[in-house]
């Protein structure tokens, strides 16, 4: 019998605590499949963020370290610098990466650390209950922007994939979404490419993934996915913003 | 024959760490410890070991946290305001039980303060400046040679207990040059204690974490950390004291103890009956040993380059405030031997 579909070996056989319609489950799977396919499971250390994905070690069948809020790229830098044979990735949310951890991500990218960053953008703080994130859209209602995010006082969202692409050192920066099978496949391709670059010692790779947070958005999973595809995507265009992975 | 050379304190500490098998140094410049970062920037890459000038002290300690989680010997160094920024990472490392060595070449504070030698970070080091119930092992060397020896040894102590170690120096120690005998090169060797993150090859995955959500698990972990520190207190408490029944027993650590030594030497030459009790580990503090020493002496004089931080521990130990006097010098300044002599004289009256 041909097995058409099975759990990646890089994931543990565990039930996640994520809300219905949350994107983390899909993204975990894509990273897990990637580690399997590139034969990296036994050489990987993942860095978990503070936030919904903090329990990464409950779901991944790889070594995992848990970082303080926003510091994952600094931990990843340390690990990679003393153990260059390991594959090191950080898995971070938007509050973690673009707010308190803006310094760490920009500098790890600026140094061109040979690591891979999985950046999950759901336009709010998920774990703490739906507050404004640096990625919250203008006019988006959150618990700390009850009348909608006002750019005059709250500022504009950060477009991280474009910011990273604007630096000299990174070799790959892209934005994908996981709203439907076609886009999930594209997301997988970007993630696999990013890990592949690290495996070939090419340098810093960054994948931003637009993902739904139905609970905090006050939407059904289906509505939330649609919102990713229209409101979020219109502000955060999909695409590859930098790819010099093939160049010498 | 052992190599005896003249070295500045900061550079000697750096070389001692290199010889102890340091694999990763992550730091950020701050006076008065810049020589360590500069020394490492050349020394570590030459030996094909990791050096990163981090973007901040916050990043530096987290690089250490990540790198040390692989089981390699790692270190950062800084000075007071920088160490304050590192408290987050230090708390996480204590919670996750990741060993590493952190050097604080203390300067005057609070805030930016100045760049003079100070002992004003005693409370921060011994009480834990970060969140949560945790303990650090804190060594307070008073000469460059002692700084070399303690730095060299601290990696193994740190690994033995899976607990960060702080070397608490100050600007005077870091900036002075003395002849030192450097220890031989050693390597940690390939050991696997069962917790290090090395890639889950042919074994179950491991995690290094400080989060313990399930009811009772953090309580259990906190009690484990408490028991660990009790063991550390039993095994690792160090002090220097020549037994005697003194008219005045000076209690001092680090540079203050060094100046006190000069003052006491002058007194002894004049026939006065004075002694010194010097904690080498200020945490764990030698409570019992000091209590015993103090019971034989008439007066206890605590001398510190701050407003009286170790004084609290001495009071806990001696439990007789009538006997205790204090000489403090805050503001990033050292004592002159005469200042300490005058204070001792007033105690002798």
Contacts of A87 in chain B (CB under 8 A): 199
Task: With CB atoms and an 8 Å threshold, state whether A45 touches B199.
Answer: yes
Residues 6+ apart with CB under 8 A from B252: B259, B260, B276, B278, B302, B303, B304
Q: Tens of pLDDT along B92-149?
A: 999 999 999 999 999 999 999 999 999 999 999 999 899 999 999 999 999 999 999 9
How far apart, in Å, are the Cα atoms of A240 and each of A173, A237, B65, B234? 6, 10, 32, 59
Tokens found for residue A21: 């319609």
Say what the pLDDT of residue A3 is.
Answer: 86
Say what the pLDDT of residue A241 is.
Answer: 98
**Buried/exposed code over B292-312 (b: 16+ C-beta within 10 A; e: otherwise):** ebbeebebbbbbbbbeebbbe
Structure-token match 């070449």, residue found: B105
How far apart, in Å, are the Cα atoms of A151 and each of A100, A136, A139, A147? 19, 10, 8, 12
Among B59, B65, B66, whose Cβ lies nearest the Cβ of A107? B59
- A-B CB pairs within 8 A amount to 136
φ/ψ bin of A203: left (φ > 0), alpha (ψ from -120 to 50), beta (otherwise): left
Say what the pLDDT of residue A2 is.
Answer: 85
Task: With CB atoms and an 8 Å threshold, state whether B23 touches A68.
Answer: no
Among B23, B55, B207, whose Cβ lies nearest the Cβ of A82? B23
What pTM was computed for the model?
0.97
Q: Per-residue pLDDT for A198 more than 50? A: yes
**Nearest C-alpha of chain A: how many angstroms from B211?**
8
pLDDT above 90: percentage of residues in chain B: 95
Q: Tens of pLDDT along B20-55?
A: 999 999 999 999 999 999 999 999 999 999 999 999
Among positive and negative, which fits the CA dihedral B329, B331, B335, B336?
Answer: negative
Contacts of A67 in chain B (CB under 8 A): 62, 65-66, 92
- Model confidence at A4, pLDDT cuts 50, 70, 90, reads confident
Say what the pLDDT of residue B1 is.
Answer: 56
The answer for A 95-134 residues in CB contact with B (under 8 A) is: 103-104, 107, 111
Say what the pLDDT of residue B271 is.
Answer: 87
Say what the pLDDT of residue B90 is.
Answer: 98
Rg (alpha carbons) of chain A, rounded to whole number: 17
Q: Per-residue pLDDT for A33 more than 90? A: yes
Extract the residue ranges of chain B whose pLDDT is less than 70: 1
Task: With CB atoms and an 8 Å threshold, state whether A66 touches B63.
Answer: no
Query: To probe the interface with B, which of A39, A74, A109 has the most B CB atoms within 10 Å?
Result: A74
Q: Per-residue pLDDT for A248 more than 50? A: no
Say what the pLDDT of residue A247 is.
Answer: 60
Q: Evaluate whether B278 touches B304 at the Cβ level (below 8 Å).
A: no
Query: To probe the interface with B, which of A53, A78, A90 has the most B CB atoms within 10 Å?
Result: A78
- Model confidence at A1, pLDDT cuts 50, 70, 90, reads confident
Residue A65 contacts B, CB cutoff 8 Å: yes
Tokens found for residue A137: 């859209």
Structure-token match 């089981």, residue found: B71
């Amino acid at each position: 019998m041909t097995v058409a579909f099975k759990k990646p070996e890089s994931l543990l056989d565990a039930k996640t605590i994520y809300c219905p319609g949350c994107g983390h489950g899909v993204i975990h799977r894509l990273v897990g499949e990637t580690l399997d396919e590139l034969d990296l499971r036994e050489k990987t250390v993942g860095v978990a963020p503070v936030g919904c994905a903090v329990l990464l070690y409950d779901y991944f069948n790889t070594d995992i370290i848990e970082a303080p809020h926003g510091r994952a790229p600094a931990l990843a830098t340390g690990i990679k610098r003393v153990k260059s044979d390991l594959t090191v990735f950080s898995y971070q949310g938007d509050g973690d990466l673009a707010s308190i951890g803006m310094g760490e991500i920009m500098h790890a990218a600026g140094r061109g650390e040979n690591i891979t960053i999985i950046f999950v953008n759901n336009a709010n703080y998920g774990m703490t209950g739906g507050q404004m994130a640096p990625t919250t859209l203008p006019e988006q209602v959150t618990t700390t922007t009850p009348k909608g995010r006002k750019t005059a006082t709250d500022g504009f969202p950060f477009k991280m994939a474009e910011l990273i692409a604007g630096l000299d050192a990174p070799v790959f920066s892209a934005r994908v979404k996981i709203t439907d099978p076609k886009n999930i496949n594209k997301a997988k391709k970007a993630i696999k490419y990013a890990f592949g670059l690290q495996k070939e010692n090419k340098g810093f790779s960054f994948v931003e993934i637009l993902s739904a947070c139905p609970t905090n958005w006050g939407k059904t999973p289906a509505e939330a996915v649609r919102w990713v595809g229209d409101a979020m995507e219109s502000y955060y265009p999909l695409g590859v913003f930098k790819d010099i992975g093939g160049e010498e | 024959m052992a190599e005896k050379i003249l070295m500045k304190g900061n550079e000697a500490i750096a070389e001692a760490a290199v010889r102890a098998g340091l694999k990763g140094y992550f730091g950020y410049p701050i006076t008065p410890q810049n020589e360590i970062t500069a020394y490492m920037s050349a020394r570590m890459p030459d030996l094909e070991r990791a050096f990163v000038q981090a973007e901040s002290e916050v990043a530096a300690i987290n690089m250490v946290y990540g790198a040390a989680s692989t089981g390699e010997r790692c270190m950062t160094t800084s000075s007071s305001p920088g160490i304050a920024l590192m408290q987050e990472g230090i708390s996480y490392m204590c919670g996750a039980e990741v060993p590493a060595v952190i050097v604080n070449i203390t300067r005057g504070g609070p805030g930016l303060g100045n760049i003079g030698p100070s002992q004003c970070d005693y409370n921060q080091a011994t009480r834990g400046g970060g969140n949560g119930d945790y303990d650090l092992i804190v060594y307070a060397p008073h000469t460059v040679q002692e700084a070399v020896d303690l730095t060299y040894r601290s990696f193994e102590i740190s690994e033995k207990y899976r607990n960060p170690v702080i070397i608490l120096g100050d600007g005077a120690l870091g900036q002075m040059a003395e002849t030192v005998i450097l220890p031989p090169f050693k390597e940690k060797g390939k050991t696997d204690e069962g917790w290090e993150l090395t890639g889950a090859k042919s074994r179950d995955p491991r995690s290094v974490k400080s989060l313990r959500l399930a009811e009772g698990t953090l309580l259990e972990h906190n009690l484990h950390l408490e028991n660990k520190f009790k063991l550390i207190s039993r095994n690792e408490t160090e002090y220097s004291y020549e037994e005697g029944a003194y008219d005045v027993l000076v209690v001092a650590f680090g540079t203050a103890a060094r100046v006190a030594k000069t003052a006491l030497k002058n007194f002894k030459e004049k026939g006065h009956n004075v002694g010194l009790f010097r904690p080498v580990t200020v945490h764990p503090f030698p409570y019992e040993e000091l209590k015993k020493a103090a019971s034989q002496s008439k007066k206890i004089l605590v001398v510190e380059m701050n407003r009286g931080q170790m004084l609290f521990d001495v009071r806990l130990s001696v439990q007789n405030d009538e006997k205790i006097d204090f000489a403090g010098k805050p503001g990033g300044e050292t004592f002159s031997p005469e200042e300490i002599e005058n204070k001792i004289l007033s105690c002798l009256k």
